[in-house]
Amino acid sequence: MKKTLAALASLLSLVLLTMPTSCYYDNEEDLYGPDTTACDTAAIRYSVEIKKILEDNCNSCHLPTGVTYSSIPFETHAQLQEVALNGKLVDRTNSISAPMPQTGLMDKCSRLKLEAWVKAGAPNN
């Protein structure tokens, strides 16, 4: 019994000794460098970033042949601008209970880009 305890104690001290005692690089930026995946929401354009988000996440339903094209089409800028300016676009893309797309929220950066564009007045740029 004593032997087992002694063995355990030496094992424990070995573990403690080999553990790093201090860690200077304890924040992500020092460890991995600047976050290159940071979300750039400056100067979001309908014709580039927004159309890409729609293409990747919405068009299967909101363009011709999509389930909701007849009632909620996103074919033209004016059509999307309407839901942007009445608040429904950002509401639904951030909604936990009724998200768009219906399968679940998009990645945060796509949602931030949509929001930035809506805040800028949903311009046709």
Closer by beta carbon to ligand HEC, 36 or else 102: 102
CA distance 43 to 73: 25
Which amino acid does the sequence have at 35? D
If the CB atoms of residues 36 and 65 are measured against ligand HEC, the closer one turns out to be 65
For the bound state, the minimum distance from the C-beta of residue 51 to ligand HEC, rounded and expressed in Å, comes to 12
Beta strands per DSSP E along the chain = none
Residues that bind ligand HEC (CB under 6 A): 57-58, 60-62, 67-68, 72, 83, 88-89, 92-93, 98, 100-102, 106
Q: Which of 44/106 has CB closer to ligand HEC?
A: 106
Residue 76 Cβ vs ligand HEC, minimum distance, rounded to whole Å:
14
Rounded to a whole number of angstroms, the minimum distance from the CB of residue 87 to ligand HEC is: 9
What own/partner pairs with CB < 8 Å and gap ≥ 24 does 117-121 have? Answer: 117/44, 117/45, 117/46, 117/49, 117/50, 117/84, 118/84, 118/85, 118/89, 118/90, 120/44, 121/85
The distance of closest approach from Cβ of residue 99 to ligand HEC in the complex, given in angstroms and rounded to an integer, is: 9
Q: Which is nearer to ligand HEC, 10 or 60 (CB)?
A: 60
What is the Cα 28 distance to its own chain's centre? 18
